[in-house]
């Protein structure tokens, strides 16, 4: 197993699929990274040389915010929304959908958990 930025990547997976295991990298970013490094779509993680692994790790560290850095920025943004009491921030704090979805047919689990939290305070 190859470890990049504290994330284990399976040897048998293709590189562009394995990169999606990291928080903050999706399919389009992983394809972009592979194209930038000159890796084919058929390249597996076990086929990477140590030089390519080091280059990939350096590229991820300097050009993209991934893992803890990305997670911290997302939490910081949601905390900002909650602190200024926007509608979206209040919905995030309550654990309810904040992008206009209905709550009658979905979000039942979140509503139950929030009712349980309020009741037990």
pLDDT digits (tens, 9 = 90+) for 27-60: 999 999 999 999 998 999 999 999 999 999 999 9
Where residue 103 falls among pLDDT bands split at 50, 70, 90? confident
Where residue 118 falls among pLDDT bands split at 50, 70, 90? low
Rg (CA), the chain: 20
Domain co-membership, 59 together with 90: no
CB contact at 8 A, 92 and 98: yes
CB contact at 8 A, 16 and 41: yes
Q: Any idea what the CATH number is for the domain that residue 106 is in?
A: 4.10.910.10
Q: How many domains does the chain have?
A: 2
Of the chain, the end-to-end C-alpha distance in Å amounts to 45
Domain co-membership, 73 together with 38: no
Its domain, for residue 81, covers 68-119
What is the predicted pLDDT for the residue at 100?
85
């Amino acid at each position: 197993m190859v470890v990049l930025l504290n994330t284990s990547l399976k040897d048998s997976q293709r590189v562009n699929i394995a990169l999606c295991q990291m928080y903050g990298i999706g399919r389009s970013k992983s394809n972009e990274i592979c194209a930038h490094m000159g890796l084919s779509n058929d390249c597996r993680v076990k086929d990477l040389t140590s030089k390519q692994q080091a280059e990939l790790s350096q590229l991820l560290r300097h050009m993209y915010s991934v893992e803890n850095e990305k997670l911290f920025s997302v939490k910081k943004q949601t905390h900002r929304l909650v602190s200024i009491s926007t509608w979206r921030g209040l919905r995030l704090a309550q654990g309810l959908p904040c992008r206009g979805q209905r709550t009658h047919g979905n979000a039942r689990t979140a509503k139950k958990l929030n009712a349980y939290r309020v009741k037990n305070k």
